[in-house]
Amino acid sequence: MRISGFAALGVFLLLLGWASLSAEDQPASSEAGVTSDAALSSEPAVTSEPASEEPTGEKAPGPSEPAAEEQVRVLTLAEAIRIAHQNNLDYLREIEDVYLAGLDLRLTQHEYGPLFSGSLDVGYQGGPGADEEASQDLSLKMTQKLPLGGDLTVSGSSSGEQTFSSITESYSSSLSVSLRQPLGQDAGRLVYREDLTEAERALLYTVRNQELYHQSFSIDVASDYFRILQRKKAIESNRRALALAEWTFEQAEALRKLGDTSAIDVSRARNSVLSSRDRLNQAIQNYELSLDRFKQNLRLPLEERIELSEEELTYQPLEVDLKEAVQIALARRLDLLNARDQLDDARRNLTLAKQELKPSLDFVASFTLPTDTGDRFGRQAWDDPYFSAGLELAIPFDKWSERTSYRRSYISYLRERRSLARKIDDIIIEVRSALRDLQKSETSIEIQRLNKEDTEKRKESAEYDLLLEVGRRSTRDVLEAQEDLFDAEIAYDEAVVDYLVAKMNLKKAMGIIIIDEKGEWAK
């Protein structure tokens, strides 16, 4: 087909415009104008006449930009997690639970040390026709638990009486030591340490549960963080899509004036501008809403300007061997350590319940050193000491309660053993599933990367053919290629986010996510 001079001149001008556009590495910058609704809606859908108005140069909509004097706070992922932990109410409750468990342990440890007590009684009695008397009684006592379940008690007492009518005084004192050592059901170091062991385990479980909560909470915060970054990149992609749609609309208008395209193609290009603008506005709304909710979760002021670091949204492959991952998980998972310790607790309780079936037999002994009664305090002479020793046996006529307790303890032990086996299987399945999700995400990233490269080539080819080989490609081909490209870009970003979340879930399944005492995430 022979091209007229006017047509050749028109194509030459279009080539110049396309060349300058390529020099900027995209057909239109992010500051490209948005076609106004009034300009686009003023034309009919299909017409053989040139458009009465061109798209105007309005600035493409974007997230609300802070004023020049306002500071924008850039949050890294580690900072976001730290702030979330510090401001989260559940975190404060976890800290309080650990503190309370520590208090219980400290109290129990105190009870295993020497305990001192004392009392002082002072009295007076008298009345008409009665002698007036005063009395004083002082007693001191120290008790100590013994490693085999016994109790040692050392006590001392002193008393005095004064009769005012006869002006007499009398004082006496005594020192005694007593021992009670179980030989039957309450004997042994296991019984002696039971209260202390329970308090230690309670604190250990509380600390581990707190760390498990931190891991899950940190993954939730990080997932929200990555999703917000993905929505921000979606805004950039939609803004470029809008600029390309406007550029395509302008080219279609120019070609229609030259008679080289149809009014239908111009209408498609116009509709593409409107659709791109709507998608951009929706992307901005989704981003700002998710950012507000993120600030709410972090308990930050909603009016505070924050931005998330885009450096966190990077793809870094993680090489993990399945066998090694399972071994690490079985060695480091805190919930598995809890399950193993709970089985030990059940085994220990079973041993204690079995020991309760024994008769109660105690060895008791005492030694007392008294003083004579003296008329002056401190002048009492030590009297002859006396001591006693013996055995106390509780005859077990009825052990029904103890036997029932033993049966319950045995069933609890069997349940904990099955629970541990089930927990191990669940962890292995969880690690395998998390690793498969990670591998699937890696494959998805590669597929979306290739898809993005292919759609980029198709878009460039369609735009080139639209300019140089009029009639071979239509505006519809260009619009479809552009839409496929930006869909591929968004799909690639979503695949990267899915991969990052899958990697965190795998680390959690392996038990290698660590939150330090400041609430910061050690990667």
473: which 2 tokens?
């490609």
Of 364, 370, 362, the residue nearest 176 (C-alpha)? 370
Residue pair 474/392 in contact (Cβ under 8 Å)? The answer is: no
Burial class (CB in 10 A: 0-12, 13-18, 19+), 275: middle
* Position 112 in a domain: no
In a domain? residue 480: yes
Instruction: Give the residue numbers spanning the domain of 508.
Output: 315-359+400-522
Total residue count of the chain as it appears in this document: 523
| pLDDT tens, position by position, 68-111 | 456 888 888 888 988 988 888 888 898 899 999 999 999 999 99
- What is the per-residue pLDDT across 149-189, written as a single tens digit (0 to 9) for each? 999 999 999 888 877 766 667 788 899 999 999 998 889 99
494 inside domain: yes
Question: Quick one: pLDDT band at residue 247, thresholds 50, 70, 90?
Answer: confident
Angle between helices 5-23 and 189-257 (to 10 degrees): 160
Residue keyed to tokens 């001008």: 13
Give percent of the chain above pLDDT 70: 78
At 360-372, the pLDDT tens digits run: 999 999 999 988 8
**d(C-alpha 410, C-alpha 145), whole Å:** 29
pTM comes to: 0.74
User: Is the pLDDT score of 468 beyond 60?
Assistant: no
Q: Does 94 map to a domain?
A: no
Inside any domain, residue 6:
no
* Domain presence at residue 152: no
Domain containing residue 324: CATH number: 1.20.1600.10
The top-scoring range by mean pLDDT among 264-268, 396-400, 458-462 is 396-400
The whole-number average pLDDT for the span 472-477 is 59
The answer to whether residue 466 scores a pLDDT higher than 60 is no
Distance CA 93, CA 394 (A): 46
Q: Say how many C-beta atoms besides its own lie within 10 A of residue 110's C-beta.
A: 10
The answer to whether the beta carbons of residues 35 and 273 sit under 8 Å apart is yes
Q: What is the pLDDT of residues 272-297, one digit of tens each?
A: 889 889 999 999 999 999 999 999 98
**pLDDT score of 516:** 58
237 closest CA partner among 497, 459, 493, 55: 493
Q: How distant is the alpha carbon of residue 477 from its chain centre?
A: 48
Question: Whole-angstrom Cα distance, residue 442 to residue 448?
Answer: 10
Of the candidates 12, 484, 475, which has an alpha carbon nearest to the alpha carbon of residue 247? 475
| Half-sphere exposure at residue 68, Cβ-oriented, CA atoms within 13 angstroms | 0
Residue 248 has a pLDDT of 79
Number of domains in the chain: 1
Tell me, yes or no, whether 484 lies in a domain: yes
- Please tell me what DSSP assigns to residue 505: H
CA–CA gap between residue 27 and residue 40 (Å, rounded) = 20
The per-residue pLDDT for 175 is: 93
Asked whether residue 165 is assigned to any structural domain, the reply reads: no
What does the pLDDT look like over 193-225, one tens digit per residue? 999 999 999 999 999 999 899 889 889 999 999
